[in-house]
Amino acid sequence: MLDNGRISSIQLSMLLFMTEAPTAILFPPSIIAEQAGPDAWISVLVPISLYGFIVALICIALARRYPKQVFTEYLPDIVGWLPGKLLALVYTLVFIHIASFILAECSLFIRTAFLRETPSLPVVMIILIAVVYGVFLGIEVIARHNELVFPLFILSMFLLIVLVANNIDLNNLRPVLAKGFIPVLSGSYQTAIFRGEIFILLMLFPYLNQKTEAHKSVMTVMIMMMIFATTIIFVTIGVFGPLVTSQLTFPYYSLARYISLAKILEQMELYLVIFWMAGIIVKLAIFLHSACIAAASTFNFRNYRMTIIPIAIISTVVCEALYSTNYLNFINFFKNIWPLYGLSFELIVPGIVLLVAIIRRKGLTSSAQTKS
């Protein structure tokens, strides 16, 4: 294996939570509220979480067949050498693409909300310095770092929910299901893909200490994400109303700006954004690490660390050229390309690979899995 780190099941669930949470709470509420109106929280509760569950189940089933290898390592084994290597290369590029998308999102947020005159490159580079160092040190270090970041992130989300809770007006959440389920579903298909990012489990599974606990930790993550995302969007729509929410670019940030408790606790948005940034750095570290491991295993390198700098540079270039400075392109990618793009490599490709593995009887069968 390329990375000799080991993570426990609790660390895995924290890591998986951190791959989904920062993006899923930052701007999706406004997109869901645009389509679903006051029923946006139902949209998060039912269809989006369901999609995440399905992706998680498929990925666990696939990963348990090859408990000691990452996804790109056993792809050639399942589908044959040439298609496998090609698919592994595609996945490497996909991971790099997602990493640059996350970078662009972070840079856009920081530059819109705080540092308006700063050009994009310094922001991206500062983030990348921390991330590249983490990837260099390995997955175990990232997991341990996340043990620090995760409670702070949860605490900041919890504080946000509690501090604006008394501004909720339940009338903003009515009428419930006035136009049936169609708006709920149409509001969910764009942002469900963020919940499907749990497919990164395919690249993290080999490091898990006790493979039989994977089910438990993944289900914990999905339930936690369901609860937190639903609560955040419930609170956002309760405080602002669906019309205002759909106008805001970053509803999480605007909600944080609205906190005012007894005129003492005001302008708390800074703390919430700091913890959010810590979370997004962990997410970026996970995706960049997966990209490096995927590149190293596709090209049969011994040491994945030699791919870190090139991949980081490619990410920066893609982010700068395509998304970070070109807001319209970012929105266009996100609205038009991302849904099907994400669906195919999160759900469809692992699903097909799993099917092929079952048919061709590749990897460990279920009786052998329970022994490992």
Provide the 3-class DSSP secondary structure of residue 33: helix
Residue 279 in tokens: 């979370």
Task: For the chain, list the strands marked E by DSSP.
Answer: 260-261, 265-266
Closest distance to other proteins from the beta carbon of 282 (Å):
23
Residue 183 in tokens: 């708006």
Looking at beta carbons only, is 1 or 115 nearer to other proteins? 115
Looking at beta carbons only, is 153 or 240 nearer to other proteins? 240
Binding site for other proteins (CB under 8 A): 112-119, 122, 171, 174-175, 178-179, 239-241, 243-244, 247-248, 254, 257-258, 260, 266-267
Provide the 3-class DSSP secondary structure of residue 266: strand
Provide the 3-class DSSP secondary structure of residue 243: helix
Closest distance to other proteins from the beta carbon of 198 (Å):
32
Number of neighbours of residue 5 by Cβ within 10 angstroms: 16
Interhelix angle for 308-318 vs 81-113, to 10°?
60
Closest distance to other proteins from the beta carbon of 246 (Å):
9
Closest distance to other proteins from the beta carbon of 248 (Å):
8
Looking at beta carbons only, is 260 or 369 nearer to other proteins? 260
Provide the 3-class DSSP secondary structure of residue 64: coil
Closest distance to other proteins from the beta carbon of 356 (Å):
48
Closest distance to other proteins from the beta carbon of 203 (Å):
31
Q: Which long-range contacts (CB under 8 A, 24 or more apart) does 304-312 make?
A: 304/2, 304/3, 305/136, 308/132, 308/135, 308/136, 309/132, 311/96, 311/99, 312/128, 312/131, 312/132, 312/288
| C-alpha–C-alpha distance, residues 28 and 81, integer Å | 39
Q: Which of 243, 320, 278 is nearest to 36 (CA)?
A: 243
Looking at beta carbons only, is 98 or 110 nearer to other proteins? 110
Closest distance to other proteins from the beta carbon of 129 (Å):
9
**Residues facing 265 on adjacent strands:** 261
